[in-house]
Structure 1
Amino acid sequence: MSLFKRNNSPYWWIKITHNGRTIQRSSKTTDEAKALEYHDKLKASLWDQERLGIKPRYSWQEAVIRYLAETSGKASTISDKTHLRWLDKYLNSLMLDEISRDVIEKVMAKRMADKVANSTVNRTMEIVRAVLRKAAFDWEWLERVPRVRMLPEPKRRIRWITKDEAGRLIRALPSHLSAMVRFSLETGLRKANVTGLQWSQVDLARRTAWIHPDQAKARKAIAVPLSVAAIEVIREQIGKHPTHVFSYKGNSVTQVNTKTWHATLKKVGITDFRWHDLRHTWASWHVQSGTPLHVLQELGGWESVEMVRKYAHLSSDHLTQYVDRFSTIQAGEGSRATFWLHSVK
């Protein structure tokens, strides 16, 4: 028999080892006698499961441990852990079959009470849904998954800057940030791929760089063709750091959203602009220059063309021929225009 107290909980906790499986959960009582009774009932239940073939019950805590083990390669693992830590105080003591829709709604209300954006609430609830779905469909720990409601999120507009604005920003930034901005606008690489770029990932002779699968958001390798301007930026960094392309005072760069970055944006009059918007700017410039969407998809390492269509409205060149074909106004000399009707054959 094992009863113990946790520093962050007023309740007695139990710990049982059964057939090599360690079960640890809250008794949800401060009464030691009742906790002992719960302990004994749980042991009897485990015996029933083994001898009578009754399906065992699993806890949220057990599900989280297995979920993290199976998804350790996800690009969003760090973010997932942040959300799971927040969820711990509400779900840690529950069995999976105790997590009903009502419980989920109460957890959502707690998250909303933190005064965070709807998108943040949704990311937290998506983790709840992901763990429960794995428990039900992959591990068969759960008979059914309760519905997890999502809050409406405003559709964010594509924020990009003009080449004139980019020039002002580049000139005003310190040299190490300026170099990374120039490189981002030439390659469209995400922040982590720029700050983490190593010399071993660059071949100047072949004018290419590459992002390894474990560094890419879609977990697929990305070939990065280097423009003349991108090569110029890289050559400027030679000799500054032994392993990383971009550095600051001899150290590799890990953070770019600094006070200097925000102060410089304000100084040059650029508002509502994040570092990731450099990628939007790169994509927008490409589309405006006539780069086909399927080519942009490959250049940017997007998983599907649907993810690139948000930039399609920035170019209408491919639609011009259809507009001209339909037009009922024929321009004449000077400012004169004559109306004509298409003949119907």
Structure 2
Amino acid sequence: MSIKKRGEFWHIDIQAPDGSRVRRSTGTTDKRQALEYHDRLKAELWEMTKLNKKPKRLFEEAIILMLKDAEHQARFDYKQAHAEYFLRIFSGRDLSSITGEELTNSIPNFHADTKKQIANGTKNRYRSTILRAFSLAYKMNWIDAVPYIPRYSEPKVRVRWITKEKANLLIHNLRLQWMKDVCFFALSTGARMSEIFTLTWHNVDFVNRVATVTNENAKSGKARALLLNNDAIELIRKLRLRNNCEYVFTRSTNRRVYDIDRRDFKQACEQSGIDNFHFHDLRHTWASWHVQAGTPLYTLKNLGGWETLEMVNKYAHLNADHMLEFANNVTFTAQRSIGNTEINVSNG
């Protein structure tokens, strides 16, 4: 039998039915366990060759695929946390043996630290992470199908925007100058918070008036151009004169900013009479202003870096002017003349 002890562990040397050789350590010092591993592997090799059976793949291998795929995407830390969570449940399992029901039941319902109930939106992020792992495994031909995990219902998309007058008042009431700059830039470009605070001077093109959001900082994981309008380019030029940091937006100490000053933002909203307003709503405001000014939705999609047109349809109701010209193409009644008499005719 092709099993020998080398050093501390037993090793096997098997010739597969297709003529290839498999040489590896069994990882055990127990001869009985090594023999069992030898026989099981030999049987699997026969099934793979003669019955076209897929080789056994562990759950961990699919997780590694997912993490490699996501390593340059925004919020990679979320994916890592999700990976650690699912590994605690399915580590060591044959990937093809895990069912959709098991995966559905594994989605957490409560936060481990606070014991508070997890929102459906967060559950859907866990769902997306694990489905991505199985989808990549399917593309690698490791499994025959991707398990089904039902999506959790979420509240309708919240769109909150303010007028230009309110926006000016908000910026005026901000106490910190760097917060004024950040909010002004967000309203001028529609940039996301992560895109603003990771923007470096290296990625600003003053000549072509464009800033590049690199793939590791873009939400979609794909680099995109952030067009700088007159307001944005004027602000950027002023910042360049007083900024020696690698990053565009800094504190007065010339140190990089990682997050907004939430206290300053909240107080400015209260002083401006703006309720239920978050920093991300500045992006909604920018998009709403564009639609009201007549910017086509497809153009807005590209300007804002949304992946699908469906993501910008939530702003469509803000300007229906472009549809009014078609509204009278069909009317309920029409006037027809017979001789010198006018009569109303129903089109129904």
Q: TM-score, normalization: structure 1?
A: 0.77
In structure 1, distance between residues paired with 2:12 and 2:283 = 51
**1:151 alignment partner in structure 2:** 152
- Superposed, 1:169-208 pairs within 5 Å as 169-173=170-174, 174-208=176-210
In structure 1, distance between residues paired with 2:132 and 2:23 = 27
Cα distance change on mapping 1:342 and 1:105 into 2, 3 Å:
same
- Superposed, 1:166-315 pairs within 5 Å as 166-173=167-174, 174-238=176-240, 239-248=242-251, 249-256=253-260, 258-315=262-319
In the alignment, is residue 46 of structure 1 matched against residue 59 of structure 2?
Answer: no
Shift of 1:182: 0.3
In structure 2, distance between residues paired with 1:62 and 1:211 = 31
Shift of 1:139: 2.0
**1:11 alignment partner in structure 2:** none
Does structure 2 retain, via aligned residues, the 8 Å contact 1:241–1:251?
Answer: no
Q: Structure 1 counterpart of 2:76, which letter? A: T
Q: Structure 1 counterpart of 2:159, which letter? A: I
Stretch of structure 1 that moved more, 41-50 or 285-294:
41-50
Unpaired runs of 5+ in structure 1? 1-14, 25-32, 330-339
Does structure 2 retain, via aligned residues, the 8 Å contact 1:97–1:142?
Answer: yes
Q: Structure 1 counterpart of 2:59, which letter? A: W
**1:61 alignment partner in structure 2:** 60
Does structure 1 retain, via aligned residues, the 8 Å contact 2:11–2:23?
Answer: no
Does structure 2 retain, via aligned residues, the 8 Å contact 1:108–1:125?
Answer: yes
Q: Structure 1 counterpart of 2:134, which letter? A: L
Shift of 1:287: 0.4
Unpaired runs of 5+ in structure 2? 1-9, 14-21, 334-341
Q: TM-score, normalization: structure 2?
A: 0.76
Does structure 1 retain, via aligned residues, the 8 Å contact 2:332–2:346?
Answer: no
Stretch of structure 1 that moved more, 106-115 or 272-281:
106-115
Cα distance change on mapping 1:17 and 1:191 into 2, 3 Å:
farther
Shift of 1:111: 5.3
Does structure 2 retain, via aligned residues, the 8 Å contact 1:71–1:77?
Answer: yes
Cα distance change on mapping 1:20 and 1:87 into 2, 3 Å:
farther
**2:87 alignment partner in structure 1:** 88
In structure 1, distance between residues paired with 2:94 and 2:261 = 41
Cα distance change on mapping 1:66 and 1:325 into 2, 3 Å:
closer
Does structure 2 retain, via aligned residues, the 8 Å contact 1:328–1:342?
Answer: no
Shift of 1:325: 6.2
In structure 2, distance between residues paired with 1:251 and 1:159 = 31
Shift of 1:344: 8.5
